[in-house]
Amino acid sequence: MGQLDGRTYLVVGGSSGIGLELVRRLRGNGADVLVWSRTAPDELSELGVAHTVVDTTKSLEEQGISAPQRLDGLAYCPGSINLRPFSRLTDEDFLAEYELNVLGAVRTLRLCLPALTHGDGASVVMFSTVAAQVGMGFHASIGSAKGAVEGLGRSLAAEFAPKLVRVNMVAPSATDTPLAERILGNEKKREASAERHPLKRVGEPADMAAAAQYLLSPDSGWMTGQVLRVDGGMSSLRV
């Protein structure tokens, strides 16, 4: 028997990194899990997870995607790390970050809201970044898109509260996933990043997945509109 027996979760972006680790944890706790992403590793079928090919930067209706019937929770994990000096960022760069991080979540939630609105309580988790809270050079496009994710999440938390649908966010700092390859891709970069964090290491997918699972589970049943800053102390400490 798991804590999440009988519950069903959709993990968008559950094929890699933090999302995949979240899928492992939800399955390990007895939940049924559906994954939407563009590709599917073999591990998903080994975990007994149903996968649907979805690109959230495009119309879901035009891809023939239909919502699950009933969901206890949904995590929207797709995101980007596009670090460049402001002078080298084009309008298209800003729009691409917004499309994937914000509109992708909007499209997913628009389609899935009826499945979450059953009156028994449901939970949505989205991913921000430490760079939405702390100003960091070269983060203008991702910082602005993730700032929008946090604004979206708080607005929806208010709007959905009467429906008993909670909305919270996890804001990671540098976490060792395929997405972070360019910033953590070798030992020197990992050590330099670890040194910048008060807790002197980089994040692991398990750190973020544990926070996301907590927010999806009934354990966090009285939390909504919050951002969990899982960042080794980066956003709030000077050590």
Ligand X SMILES: NC(=O)c1ccc[n+]([C@@H]2O[C@H](COP(=O)([O-])OP(=O)(O)OC[C@H]3O[C@@H](n4cnc5c(N)ncnc54)[C@H](OP(=O)(O)O)[C@@H]3O)[C@@H](O)[C@H]2O)c1
- What is residue 220's DSSP assignment? G
Beta carbon nearer to ligand X, 31 or 184: 184
Q: Are 10 and 74 in contact (CB under 8 A)?
A: yes
Rounded Cα–Cα distance for residues 206 and 24 (Å)? 10
The one-letter code for the residue type at 76 is: Y
For the CB of residue 86, give the shortest distance to ligand X in the complex, in Å. Answer: 19
DSSP of 208-221: HHHHHHHHHSGGGT
Which residues, 6+ apart, have CB-to-CB distance to 22 below 8 Å? 11, 14, 75, 77, 208, 209, 212, 213
Which among 60-68, 75-83, 114-122, 217-225 is the span making contact with ligand X, rule CB under 6 A? Answer: 75-83
The verdict on 68 binding ligand X (CB under 6 A) reads no
Bridge partners (DSSP) of residue 165 are 122
The verdict on 77 binding ligand X (CB under 6 A) reads yes
The verdict on 129 binding ligand X (CB under 6 A) reads yes
Beta carbon nearer to ligand X, 120 or 197: 197
Beta carbon nearer to ligand X, 13 or 68: 13
Beta carbon nearer to ligand X, 164 or 206: 206
Q: Given the structure tokens 């997918």, which residue do they identify? A: 205
The verdict on 13 binding ligand X (CB under 6 A) reads yes
Q: Give Cα 54 distance to the centre of its chain.
A: 16
Q: Could you count the other beta carbons within 10 Å of the beta carbon of residue 182?
A: 10
Binding ligand X (rule: CB under 6 A), the pick from 4, 18, 122, 169 is 18
Which among 15-23, 43-51, 151-159, 209-217 is the span making contact with ligand X, rule CB under 6 A? Answer: 15-23
State the residues that interact with ligand X by CB under 6 A: 13-19, 37-39, 54-57, 77-80, 100, 127, 129, 172, 174-175, 177-180
